[in-house]
Structures are given as C-alpha cells and as structure tokens.
Amino acid sequence: MSGRWARTMLSAYRFAGAAAYPLVGPYVAWRTSRGKEDRNRRRERYGVAGRPRPEGPVIWIHAASVGETLAVVPLVESILDYGVNIVLTTGTVTSAQVVDERLGDRIIHQYVPLDLKPAVSRFLDHWKPDLAIIAESEIWPMTILELGARHVPQVLVNGRLSDRSFTSWKKRANIAEALFENLAHVVAQSDVDGERFRALGARPVTVSGNLKVDTNPPPVDQRALATLQRQIGGRPTWAAISTHDGEEVVAAEVHATLHKRHQGLLTIVVPRHPDRAEALAAQISGMGLKVARRSKGDRIGPDTDILLGDTIGEMGLYLRLTEIAFVGRSLTSEGGQNPLEPAMLDTAVLAGRNVQNFREAYQRLLDSGGAKLVRDRDMLAGAVNFLLTNEVARHEMMAAGIATVDEMRGALARTLKSLEPYIQPLVVKARLKGANGR
C-alpha cells in the first residue's frame, strides 16, 4: 500500500466519513460518553460554538478526559502567562468540571466536536486557531486532516502510544504516515513512545517525560478530611482506587481475608466510574460487609467495613485517609491507571501486572521500591497484610515513591521549550494587536 494510496484514502475519508473506511474508522473518537453529556451544550459536539471568538491569536488545546485535563492544567497556566487566548476542549462532563474548578474563566471551554467533517469544519471556521495542541493519544483523522488543510500547526504533547495502539497503527503504516506527517511536532512521554511515533512517520519527535508528574497533588476539602479522620480514628486503612469491574469485589474479598488479623480494618474503594456505585454497594453488602457511601453522606461507624468513594473530584480526600493504595485497571482489566497521584501523596503503591499505559512511571517506582506489582487477589492480600504489619517497610515505600516523583519532574519545562517556536510568534502577534488597539 503506497503512501500516495494512503493519502488518497484519507482524502476520500475527509468527505465520506469513517463509515465508508473501516480501516480508519476505529480511530475516530465518538466521545458521547454514553448519555453523560451536558444536554444544554450538546450543539458544541457538532461544532456550534457556545461563545464568541476573542480578538487576537487563539491556541486550541484538547484534553480528552479527566487525567489528560489535569495533566495539561500547568501547561495551560504557563501559556496563559504569555497573554494568548486559549480554547480548551474536553470530551466529558467530568473533565469540564475539572476545567471550571482549576481554570475558571481564564480560558474558554468547549466540548470537542465529533470527528466528522461538518462538525470539525464548523468548529475551525469559528475559532480559527493559530495553533493546535493535542494531549496524549488523541489521534483523530478528520481533525488532523482539516487542520493540515488549513495549515494550522499541530503539536502532540505528552504523547503516548499503548502496545495495542502501536500494533494497530503498524498494520496501517502508510495511513499512519499520511496522518502523522500533518503533525508539526510530537513531544512524547518516554523514549519508547518517541521511538514508536518515529516508526510511524512522525517528525520531529522529542521526549519530555510525563506531564502528570509536574501537576500538583489532588486537592482536598480540609473540613471533609477532618470529619472522616475523626470517624475513622486510629483504625488501620488501605484503599483500592480507580478500580474497574471485578476489582471492587477483589478488594472486598481482601478485606474479608484481613479484617480478623487487623482489628477494625477499613477498606476504601474508589471506583473509576462512580455511576456503578449502586450495584457495587449491593454486591459488596451481599458479601456480608457493611458499606458506607460517600455520595450519600453515610457516617463511618465502628462496624463499617467498606467506605465506597462514589464521588467525583475527591481522590485527594481518599488518598489522604490511608498510606496504602492499590491502583486499579491492572488486575481484572488492562492498561493501568496513574500511580503518580498516590505516590506524591505519601502512599505505598500496589497494582496488578497489566500497567502498560503507565509503563515508565511504574518502572521508575518499581526500581526505587516505591511500588509493588501483584499477580492476583491472594498476592494482593499478602502485600496489604505485609504493609499493614510492617510500619518501617511501609514508610520506606512511601518515601521512595515521593523521591521518585521528584526525580521525574521537569516534563513541563521541556514541553514548553518544544512549544516555544510555535507560541512565540503568537505572543508577538498578540502584543502588536494590543499596541495597535490602544
């Protein structure tokens, strides 16, 4: 399959859409969040702007969901210091809430348009971005092609390609090259990610490290923290956070195994998707365990076995209630979740072996002794038991985790350096416009 054939196919895709081209279609992001959209702003998904375009240069930054949004917040704040307008798009209601909490009206938030030509064109016609910055692994063919046709520089930051994505793209190498040649620069998370992007035709590629390392620890409501700490008292605790289907039951089974050895043990379970809480509470209660739900304001009593953290935006609260955290999507699901937040909050990190999406972070934590991988439920129970029993070993893991995060910092500065050739002309343009407008 020649490069010319791939470009012809992508050109046709620009007009016909994903349905006509199944080889490209799987990479189209239909982020409708399965009914969880803000209905009042649904038109934004079709490219209909909810706000007027500001005067002067505009940088479009896209971060798909909560993790990516939190990662780019320091980057957005640094760019705002240059005095350039930012339109920040996200794909979920939860990430929109994060944007509102962290950035407020300093930026313009919009829901990202669907990767269909009418929606993308309508969005670009209105906002006319001078630069597009895309976070992590958001490879949207229609959007990339339309930006390329308008000669808008596109930079992928915190770039990541999972094992599965890289394998899929390699099977369509010519299509990948025809897409990635539209990117002005790729700033990859790791050396492995950088080599993968180069293998698929991206040029130039630099490596920054993970922007998630340069974020602040998740915040906490001090009053809520004090209330829960009073309710828990001196009870031993451990947490299973960002859990996916099946991992909550594993955590409950670990609790049932350990609660006789550790008097008053409280297990904190924080599902990745809180909308599953009703079913989870019923399932765990059916195991003979008493559940307190955070979303309902249930009090943690002496006989409470499980605190179900079924709220959004309170990870900082849950992690400050314990010194041991199992990070989910790693035992019964694949890919893993971010271990850096618990590490930077003085927590010993445990996880299953399926952590490919955060390979470098876990490798650094494993090498330093800040994290340990477990094979199954029994091994998880053994690891939690060991850490609850051995205070010195637990505190050594906690200290190693914090030290590792500190050593990994610097991705923000390296990313800004890579972006400088694209941002500086816009800074000059903004200042000239400001001077002419006075």
Confidence of residue 436 (pLDDT cuts 50, 70, 90): low
pLDDT reported for residue 27: 34
Asked whether the predicted pLDDT for residue 309 surpasses 80, the reply is: yes
CB atoms within 10 A of CB 83: 13
Arithmetic mean of pLDDT, 147-175? 94
pLDDT reported for residue 7: 53
pLDDT reported for residue 35: 42
d(CA 149, CA 141): 12
Lowest-confidence region among 8-12, 161-165, 229-233, 395-399: 8-12
Four-residue CA torsion sign, 274, 276, 278, 283: negative
Q: Which of 37, 44, 68, 138 is catalytic?
A: 68
More confident position, 115 or 38? 115
Q: Which two tokens stand for residue 18?
A: 């994903």
CB atoms within 10 A of CB 103: 19
Provide the residue type at 259 as one letter. H
The three-state secondary structure class of 352 is coil
d(CA 27, CA 25): 5
Asked whether the predicted pLDDT for residue 438 surpasses 80, the reply is: no
Residue 123 buriedness (CB in 10 A; 0-12 / 13-18 / 19+):
buried
Arithmetic mean of pLDDT, 334-356? 96
pLDDT reported for residue 136: 87
pLDDT reported for residue 1: 43
pLDDT reported for residue 83: 93
68 catalytically annotated: yes
Q: Is residue 71 within 8 Å of 158, Cβ to Cβ?
A: yes
Asked whether the predicted pLDDT for residue 3 surpasses 60, the reply is: no
Q: Is residue 10 within 8 Å of 83, Cβ to Cβ?
A: no
pLDDT reported for residue 16: 42
Asked whether the predicted pLDDT for residue 171 surpasses 70, the reply is: yes
C-alpha distance from residue 384 to each of 374, 400, 419 (Å): 10, 17, 43
More confident position, 93 or 417? 417
Arithmetic mean of pLDDT, 228-243? 98
Q: Which two tokens stand for residue 91?
A: 């794909």
CB-side exposure of 295: number of CA atoms within 13 Å? 15
Arithmetic mean of pLDDT, 260-271? 97
Asked whether the predicted pLDDT for residue 41 surpasses 70, the reply is: yes
pLDDT reported for residue 115: 95
d(CA 360, CA 192): 9
Asked whether the predicted pLDDT for residue 110 surpasses 50, the reply is: yes
pLDDT reported for residue 139: 84
Q: Which two tokens stand for residue 297?
A: 């304001």
pLDDT reported for residue 10: 58
Arithmetic mean of pLDDT, 356-370? 95
d(CA 130, CA 433): 14
Asked whether the predicted pLDDT for residue 24 surpasses 50, the reply is: no
Residue with tokens 């005067």: 55
Q: Is residue 240 within 8 Å of 329, Cβ to Cβ?
A: no
How many helices and strands (H and E) does the chain possess? 17, 14
The torsion angles phi and psi of 357, rounded to 5 degrees, stand at: -70, -15
Mean of pLDDT over the chain:
91
Arithmetic mean of pLDDT, 156-176? 93
Arithmetic mean of pLDDT, 22-38? 43
d(CA 335, CA 354): 6
Beta strands in 94-153 (DSSP E): 108-111, 131-135
Asked whether the predicted pLDDT for residue 56 surpasses 60, the reply is: yes
pLDDT reported for residue 137: 80
Strand pairing partners for 308? 269, 293
The three-state secondary structure class of 160 is coil
Residue 86 buriedness (CB in 10 A; 0-12 / 13-18 / 19+):
buried
CB atoms within 10 A of CB 406: 11
d(CA 362, CA 340): 9
